[in-house]
Structure 1
Amino acid sequence: MTGTVLAGVGLTVVAGAMSGNCMLPMKYARRWRPENVWFVFSVVSLLLLPWALAFAVVHQLLDVYRRLRTNEMMTPLLFGAGWGIAQILFGVSIRRLGMSVGYAIIVGLGAVLGTLVPLFVGQRTFVSNAGLVRILAGVVVMVLGIALTAWGGQVKERARVTEISDEPQRGYVVSVLLAMLCGVLAPMLNYAFAFGQGLAVEAARLGNSPVAAAYAVWPVALLGGLIPNIGYSVYLLQRNSSWAAFGHSARDVIWPSLMGVLWMGAFALYGMSAVYLGALGTSIGWGLFQIFMIMAATMSGLLTAEWRGAPRNAMTLLATGMVGLIGATLLLSFRGH
């Protein structure tokens, strides 16, 4: 493994830790309804920070966009919109399933699709047959690790409900199905980045470094994601008459703003890591990013007492799943470097 690749892996570790914990502040915005939190989070993470970061890093940013054809701009925009729908489902799933289980299902599906689709659509010629076998093995181990983690979460949830009532937990299957749909849509943000590289190429032509040029993709992709997120938040704010909460507890703006900083910071670092990881950066890098997100989210769940009182078999499944994810990390990291 070269120093450049090692730096890329290191960046994905930090990015995964930030993204895996970005929803944690949501637990502390107690005086706001979820739609208040999501509205501010969306504005900060999908509008303010992406554009501010791009203007700060990419020279002649507006000239980059003016030089591009409409279809080159629409590709990341539309993929971003699909991912925006996943974000709405993500918030619902996390509230219904908890951070550990919700992340495992959503990020699990997103990791598999987000790793394999860019690989087979545009990067297959950059990897040897032996390297491809390692990647596929890493994906299989990753799926097993995620499945064990989710299974442990389900055992934990069943035990919790049994303590409260003799009736089976209702709504769990529906919650899992919502999380799976979210997982199918979630990697569309990676598709926006992987298949929107025309923006980065144009930015590089205007003298930007490859790392800086990569940032040109995010404002367009995340603008697509902003539309469904803001639209849904406004709908809920209007339906639930939640607008007044912004004035009654203005200090709560800190928590969703922090969520936005952590989230956008994570994706900014992921964009850098994809450059350092080379031709397969948007496939291998995405898989590693998702693995580290799951690990970080699980640790957050443990530290915030989400797993307190869980049965021993649930903890065993969780630990085994984490070991599987570590194995997948090694397979993906050393797949042919």
Structure 2
Amino acid sequence: MERIICCIGDLHGHITKLQKLWTNLETLINPISFQTSLIIFLGDYCDRGPNTRKVLDFLISLPSKYPNQTHVYLSGNHDFAFSAFLRVLPLPPNGLSFSDTWKQYEHNEDREGWYKDVGYEDMHLQGRRWGGRIREKVNLDKGTEYIGSIYDAGTTFESYGVPHGSADLVKAVPDEHKKFLSELVWVHEEENVCVETSEGKTNCRLIAVHAGLEKVKGVEEQLKILKAKDTSIPKVEALSGRASVWEIPKELCEKPTIVVSGHHGKLHIDGLRLIIDEGGGKENNPVAAIVLPSMTLVRDTDSITTQL
């Protein structure tokens, strides 16, 4: 029996959706297979939805509740920024400072209203953007109102009982949450993953990364940086890119490779390129997962009555 792998898309603080999705997965998948499955969370656990704190509690509880499962927690760009605000990111290499990450984007500071309160002096760029207060009311690209910052972080602050932009968040976040965020990985690889394709079952390499891999850069170079969690980079394209990381790099097509991501606010399955973010953090959208090898899509809104 092939091992079951569940890749779960962006959660964005929606605890009720996560609980329903988990119940559906547990109902759909054979109990023995589910208990030994690999669960890959594709990142973006915080912001937009109302219960970031409860989402993290749920994720942290899984290894003790399901000790025979393997759980992988990827960092999304929102989680990276949350971690940066809490100052739990690894230090930049070679003696560099987090403040060095500001320089390339300083022309955006006023418009984005970067955080400039306690602890900002040596905070990674994304932490300042996350905890800041954007002047504009509406995100024109998405047609939604900003919730506090350009990251829509206001709901995350509120879930810990402090107002948006408050330096008190650092004290309000429990140590176990800080530890969880500090240990998020930027990429995960698996070899010999069985997947059903139009040509039958095949074994593939699997690379899971929140946004994707850049098409124009060498894959191994990218993987090295991601595994090292190089925080000297102001904007990590594999966690926050859009068009640049949409496709599978050509060199990965030589050996069948699944590249699975969330991030894009879309559900997109094109051969072995899997983008699982049907929710996008929006209240009225479902949270989705994909189950391998069958390539079955599961949503929190599904009425599940049968098992795989």
Instruction: Give your verdict on TM over 0.5.
Output: no
Bigger fraction of residues in helix: 1
Bigger fraction of residues in strand: 2
Larger RCO: Structure 1 or Structure 2 (Cα < 8 Å, ≥ 6 residues apart)?
1
TM-score (norm: length of structure 2): 0.29
Q: Which has the larger radius of gyration?
A: 1
TM-score (norm: length of structure 1): 0.27
